[in-house]
């Protein structure tokens, strides 16, 4: 959010705001959207500042401006992603992040893991892994070590507690099933698959009627008001 108000609580007469941000997306350009519209693109990947137009909306000069900064590849610098920034869609859910431990079956023959899914059908398809490349059991050539999950004598430890993870793309809302399978260097599965079922909910709509309900000209502080998301 960027609220650029003068001492009287009004937007600058120039009709523009200066947006600055931090980003870990090195080597990528950044787009700035104002109230859901593409307002500008950085001149080079290292830029973290941009002056963009600040249109006056239906609320007049006291309009709260929604500013969104998006990191993109060079080829997408001028691609307008405004239609994908709403943050809500009845058919759009969140990504699923799977985490697991190596387990007691960890042995010198363990080479990789594969992740399988049901494609929203209820039955896991073990023919085609979801991961594009095998998930190495020994990243960098060394087996990671985990930690105990409880008090003395409780929980996995050592190599059997080595942590791994893998994430899906955003999924449709509904019930999904996934499975993780351990594979040796010869391509043989070393143990029974570990299956998990998860319910993916639609992404909630953003809060509505977001506004500046009061502005203290002496303290230069704004009081914000909004209505909660109808999905929360």
State pLDDT tens for residues 77-96: 999 888 777 555 566 677 89
**Contacts made by residues 42-46, CB under 8 angstroms, sequence distance 24+:** none
d(CA 22, CA 71): 11
The separation between CA 96 and the C-alpha centre of its own chain, rounded to angstroms, equals 10
Tell me what pLDDT residue 21 has.
Answer: 94
Is the entire prediction scored with pTM above 0.75?
A: no
Tell me what pLDDT residue 57 has.
Answer: 45
Residues (pLDDT < 70) of the chain are 1-15, 55-65, 86-92, 103-108, 143-159, 203-208
Assign 130 to helix, strand or coil. coil
d(CA 186, CA 128): 17
Tell me what pLDDT residue 2 has.
Answer: 43
Residue with tokens 């494609």: 119
d(CA 226, CA 232): 14
Tell me what pLDDT residue 55 has.
Answer: 61
d(CA 71, CA 47): 11
């Amino acid at each position: 959010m960027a609220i650029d108000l003068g001492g009287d609580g009004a937007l600058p007469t120039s009709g523009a705001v200066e947006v600055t941000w931090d980003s870990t997306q090195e080597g990528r350009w950044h787009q700035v959207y104002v109230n859901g519209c593409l307002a500008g693109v950085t001149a080079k990947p290292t830029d973290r500042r941009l002056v963009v137009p600040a249109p006056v909306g239906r609320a007049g000069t006291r309009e709260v401006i929604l500013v969104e900064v998006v990191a993109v590849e060079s080829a997408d610098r001028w691609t307008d992603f405004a239609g994908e920034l709403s943050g809500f869609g009845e058919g759009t859910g969140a990504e699923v992040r799977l985490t697991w431990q190596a387990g007691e079956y960890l042995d010198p023959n363990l080479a990789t893991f594969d992740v399988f899914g049901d494609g929203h059908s209820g039955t896991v398809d073990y023919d085609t892994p979801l991961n594009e490349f095998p998930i190495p059991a020994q990243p960098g050539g060394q087996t990671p070590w985990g930690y105990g999950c409880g008090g003395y004598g409780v929980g996995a430890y050592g190599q059997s507690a080595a942590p791994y993870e893998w994430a899906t793309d955003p999924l449709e809302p509904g019930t999904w099933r996934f499975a993780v399978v351990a594979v040796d260097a010869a391509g043989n599965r070393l143990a029974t698959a570990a299956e998990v079922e998860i319910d993916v909910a639609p992404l909630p709509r953003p809060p509505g009627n977001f506004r500046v309900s009061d502005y203290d000209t002496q303290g230069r502080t704004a009081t914000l008001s909004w209505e909660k998301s109808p999905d929360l």
